[in-house]
A and B are shown apart, each in its own frame.
Chain A
């Protein structure tokens, strides 16, 4: 009985110790594969093309990262709520999944410097009279559960003290509900809003206004203690901008114009 208890604790200690000493960056390089968590329900950042292949800004970003590491990229489709379980259970190495770098989340995972920034738009059902974002007051609104805009919108509804907030599990469900009139309005990234209005998959929706939010800075993420890898990710993001690849990917997936400035004026990092 006692011997087995000692054995178990020694085993546990050695497992923990080996976990702490292994460097993820080395693991990736030696395994020859970089596994990225990417959300493929979030065009134009991640989606599937007609042949069911993953495509999008985040997919290309992962491929770029794999290329500089000299390894193969493996895109692991991960819905928004599954990003952290996928990382922690070791199914993926890095998240390239348009993840907002909130302080609350940074307590759990390690965030790189921002690699993209979204602006958000209010999209409404065409039958609903709306002129500005403030007309969402008292309406039934919804967004994709767990996203930056969902957290903002739910907070806004609480502040107004009227109206209903509904989180759906996927972006597609939000726009389906909006198109059917179950929701009066939603807040989504300008990129997603424009892509969905243009695609015609969701008839009867229109873009109303910009949402008055701080731009949604999104970061790459990995395990919190993997400083070696986080360091590399930071430099990678920096290089993507420096080499013009950031602007190139922006033009390829989002369109003409300037990509958002990733520099926050007046502060370091």
Chain B
């Protein structure tokens, strides 16, 4: 997709990315942040669906099935997710380089979403030692989430 110009960048995030740092966790799908070349289309994911269909990867609900995994493509939607993709790591997955969102961005994206399972993700990342409270605080501050981080600390870390 990168080579074909359908997307300009991508990075795995969500639970599958979290597992780089923590123990395995239950998840039903794989989430991929995508940066899409600017255009006039309203259906920003249309080119991705068309490209995948041509390759034999078919839509399934809001996802596209790749092997056993439904893959959900999520266009970058704010400065935080743009930065998360730009600064993603490129580890090798069984010999194949693969873009993956870093632990600090995973934690702050989770903070911004704010569901119970996102809070669990932040705690797991902290517990794994892959990111520190100070790093999360700094990134949260830069993206207007300082208050959300203070509330998280008061609720889960300083009690």
Co-assembled chains A and B: no
